[in-house]
């Protein structure tokens, strides 16, 4: 057969369904040229979009590391935050020792350090997690296991959706009004900040946990009941253990989100430059230090801000990575 040996006649496109020759000859092109071009174009466009999307991501990381990494070191995590403003740093040289001591001035170029802010971040976020996670998980259990489609459940679901949409600065203002203002100078504290952050985390935990609980198959609940388990018992012994990895993921994501928040902290935590491990008394967080450092004109303050930013990104990234890791293990475990 001569038709088999030679390449197909490149005479345009065969109309596949109706062309008797094209039906049996694989070498005949049946896809229209225009379509092939469009296909190629779409592929290129998608790749370009990917590159564009990756640019800011990579740029952020590169700039963060370039500007922030230089100052990282043991001291950075363990020392107090140097107290600097443009004016004081410039005026430092002529001031005598007693005055320096009195105003806590550091002369020369003090190395940036962020210890208190790291501690404050962990403290306020941790307290917020202690408040929001138990309450949120309990609410989600109510929504999915008890309330289901009751009036109360629907109201709670609606409210938590609304809460998700509330800007975080409003949460800060709210706690500022109902807590900080009331207690005057004793008001601003890691605990106050934790209250604001907990408001922020709560809806994330509730809806995240509810989603995970919904994934637990009803068959397991029925199996529990058929064995003579009560509903509540089943929730604690069967449903929650099944959902635990998923709940952990939801909680960690909420924590990661809260750790990076600035607005709720601004009014509620006050400001300090030295370590404060107590939930009361003014404190500070990395996000707040970035805010303060970036708006200051002082070069040292700017450097501080960059290093704080890098530290914060590492903290948040670790939390997200942990959430990812647990989520993956969860899915493989359920799979077999």
> Could you say which DSSP state residue 269 is in?
S
Determine if 238 is a binding residue for other proteins (CB under 8 A): yes
Exactly one of 86, 134, 167, 241 binds other proteins (CB under 8 A); that residue is 241
Minimum CB distance to other proteins, residue 126 (Å): 30
Site for other proteins in 175-234 (CB under 8 A): 217, 219-220, 222-230, 233
Q: Choose between 93 and 219: whose C-beta lies nearer to other proteins.
A: 219
Give the whole-angstrom CA distance, residue 25 versus residue 16: 10
Stretch of 46-54, 80-88, 120-128, 235-243 contacting other proteins, by CB under 8 A? 235-243
Q: In the bound complex, what is the minimum distance in angstroms from residue 150's beta carbon to other proteins?
A: 12
Total residues binding other proteins (CB under 8 A) = 20
Give CA–CA dist 100/124, Å, rounded: 31
Residue of 119, 78, 76, 171 lying closest to 283 (CA atoms): 119
Minimum gap (Å) between residue 223 Cβ and other proteins: 4
Q: Give the number of other CB atoms < 10 A from CB of residue 10.
A: 8
Contact status: 151 vs other proteins (CB under 8 A): no
Closest by CA to 225, choosing from 235, 216, 215, is 235
Nearer to other proteins, 3 or 232 (CB): 232
d(Cα 90, Cα 104) in Å, to the nearest integer?
14
Q: Does 242 bind other proteins (CB under 8 A)?
A: yes
Q: Taking the complex as a whole, how short is the minimal distance between the CB of residue 152 and other proteins, in angstroms?
A: 17
| Unique residue bearing structure tokens 């043991």 | 74
Q: Identify the H or E element spanning 199.
A: helix 190-215
334 counts as binding other proteins under rule CB under 8 A:
yes
Does residue 154 interact with other proteins by CB under 8 A? no
Residue 334 to residues 186, 215, 242, Cα–Cα distance (Å): 49, 11, 9
Q: How far is the CB of 208 from other proteins (least distance, A)?
A: 20
DSSP 8-state assignment for residue 12: S
| Of 150 and 274, CB closest to other proteins | 150
Please tell me the total number of residues recorded for the chain in this structure: 336
Q: Answer positive or negative: Cα dihedral of 16, 18, 19, 23.
A: positive
CB of 228 to other proteins, least distance (A): 4
Q: How far is the CB of 239 from other proteins (least distance, A)?
A: 10
Question: Where along the sequence are the contacts to other proteins (CB under 8 A)?
Answer: 217, 219-220, 222-230, 233, 237-238, 241-242, 333-334, 336
């Amino acid at each position: 057969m001569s038709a088999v040996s030679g390449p197909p006649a490149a005479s345009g496109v065969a109309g596949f369904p109706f062309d008797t020759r094209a039906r049996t000859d694989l070498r005949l092109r049946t896809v229209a040229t225009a379509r092939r071009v469009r296909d190629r174009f779409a592929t290129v466009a998608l790749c370009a979009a990917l590159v564009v999307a990756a640019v800011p991501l990579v740029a952020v990381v590169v700039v963060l590391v370039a500007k922030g990494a230089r100052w990282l070191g043991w001291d950075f995590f363990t020392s107090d935050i140097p107290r600097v403003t443009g004016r004081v740093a410039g005026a430092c040289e002529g001031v005598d020792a007693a005055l320096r001591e009195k105003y806590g001035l550091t002369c020369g170029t003090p190395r940036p350090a962020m210890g208190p802010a790291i501690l404050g971040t962990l403290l306020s976020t941790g307290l917020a997690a202690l408040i929001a996670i138990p309450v949120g998980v309990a609410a989600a259990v109510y929504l999915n296991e008890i309330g289901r489609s009751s009036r109360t459940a629907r109201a709670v679901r609606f409210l938590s959706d609304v809460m998700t949409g509330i800007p975080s600065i409003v949460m800060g203002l709210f706690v500022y009004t109902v807590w900080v203002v009331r207690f005057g100078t004793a008001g601003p504290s890691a605990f106050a900040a934790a209250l604001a952050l907990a408001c922020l985390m709560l809806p994330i935990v509730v809806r995240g946990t509810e989603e995970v609980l919904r994934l637990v198959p009803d068959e397991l609940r029925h199996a529990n009941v058929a064995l003579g388990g009560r509903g509540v018992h089943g929730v604690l012994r069967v449903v929650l253990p099944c959902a635990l990895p998923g709940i952990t993921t939801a909680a960690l994501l909420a924590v990661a989100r809260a750790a990076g928040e600035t607005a709720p902290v601004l009014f509620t935590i006050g400001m300090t430059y030295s370590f404060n491990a107590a939930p009361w008394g003014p404190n500070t967080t990395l996000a707040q230090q970035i805010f303060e450092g970036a708006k200051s004109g002082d070069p040292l303050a700017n450097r501080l801000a960059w290093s704080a930013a890098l530290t914060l990104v590492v903290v948040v990234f670790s939390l997200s990575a942990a959430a990812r890791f647990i989520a993956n293990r969860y899915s493989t475990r359920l799979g077999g």
